[in-house]
Amino acid sequence: MSKMLVCTYKADDCAFTATCNGFQIFNADDGGSGVAQLNPYLIGKGNVLRFVFTRKGPDAKFSSGVREAEEGEMVNSLEDGDLAMPEGNELVHTFDSEQADLKEILDNAKPADAKAMLDFAMQYCDAIKAGDHDTLKKFNDYRISEAAKMFGLPKDAMTEQLLGMFEFFKPGVNIGRGDLEAIEICQGKVWEVKRKDGNPLLYIKEEDGSSSSSFIAAFLKDGPQVVR
């Protein structure tokens, strides 16, 4: 059975965001508890977990931890962890891992800039609007292959699921370049493109809420790819 690395937190009367190697894993408005799988964001040695607190109330409490779990194991986010509330507004924890799911991307990706990523995001939206499945499959080949391995499913099955998702988001991609911003995540090689209002690139309002899908990309050997 495969292993996974998870981060948990429990908190009261405080607000914070947390990232692992630049990827956001938590955004807590008022405490609570949570758990996030870290494998997709790991580089092996020297992983950086960073909590930034935006509010600490008079009764603020906080605990977090990183530990290994079995695939399918129920993880209790209410257990006390080794990481406690910092005196200041930032808590940084560096750790090593035998897992390094992100390292393959970083080893093969070319450095990019915000302009290149915004260009790619607009091409992506244009392909969704046009129903250009060949282009969408090309832009998502890495992500599809990784998902197929993870879930033990044929690549064709994962492709069909992804194309169906694009049809769902099609009405919500009538956006312009000026509506978007590119945010560097890791070493200038992995970027996220989001809407300037804070929502992910793929976003659509529904009667009882909204649906969204993030756009995290890198320039690999075969060109730009959505990697997460």
- Clarify whether residues 63 and 175 are in a common domain: no
Mean pLDDT, rounded, of the chain: 93
- Clarify whether residues 218 and 111 are in a common domain: yes
Residue 8: pLDDT over 80 = yes
Q: Which of residues 55, 71, 101 is at a domain's end? A: 101
- Clarify whether residues 123 and 222 are in a common domain: yes
- Clarify whether residues 24 and 90 are in a common domain: yes
- Clarify whether residues 218 and 112 are in a common domain: yes
Our count of domains for the chain comes to: 2
| Interior/surface letters 90-116, b for 16+ CB within 10 angstroms, e for the rest | ebebeeebebbbbeebeeebeebeeeb
- Clarify whether residues 60 and 140 are in a common domain: no
Q: Give the tens place of pLDDT for each residue, 70-88.
A: 776 778 778 889 999 999 9
Q: Give the tens place of pLDDT for each residue, 163-208.
A: 999 999 999 999 999 999 999 999 999 999 999 999 999 999 888 8
CA–CA dist 178, 171 (Å, integer): 18
pLDDT at position 2, please?
Answer: 65
- Clarify whether residues 144 and 56 are in a common domain: no
User: Which range marks the domain in which residue 166 is found?
Assistant: 105-226
- Clarify whether residues 183 and 94 are in a common domain: no
Q: Give the tens place of pLDDT for each residue, 127-164.
A: 999 999 999 999 999 999 988 887 788 999 999 999 99
Residue 121: pLDDT over 90 = yes
For 84-93, 150-159, 218-227, which range has the lowest pLDDT when averaged over its residues? 150-159
Closest CA to 37 of 78, 1, 3, 86: 3
CA–CA dist 42, 46 (Å, integer): 9
- Clarify whether residues 74 and 128 are in a common domain: no
- Clarify whether residues 49 and 122 are in a common domain: no
CA–CA dist 53, 55 (Å, integer): 6
| Interior/surface letters 136-166, b for 16+ CB within 10 angstroms, e for the rest | beebbbbbbebbbeeeeeeeeebbeebbeeb
pLDDT at position 191, please?
Answer: 98
CA–CA dist 65, 36 (Å, integer): 11
pTM over 0.75: yes
- Clarify whether residues 23 and 136 are in a common domain: no
Q: Which of residues 101, 127, 142 is at a domain's end? A: 101
Helix/strand/coil for 207: coil
Q: Say what percent of the chain tops pLDDT 70.
A: 99
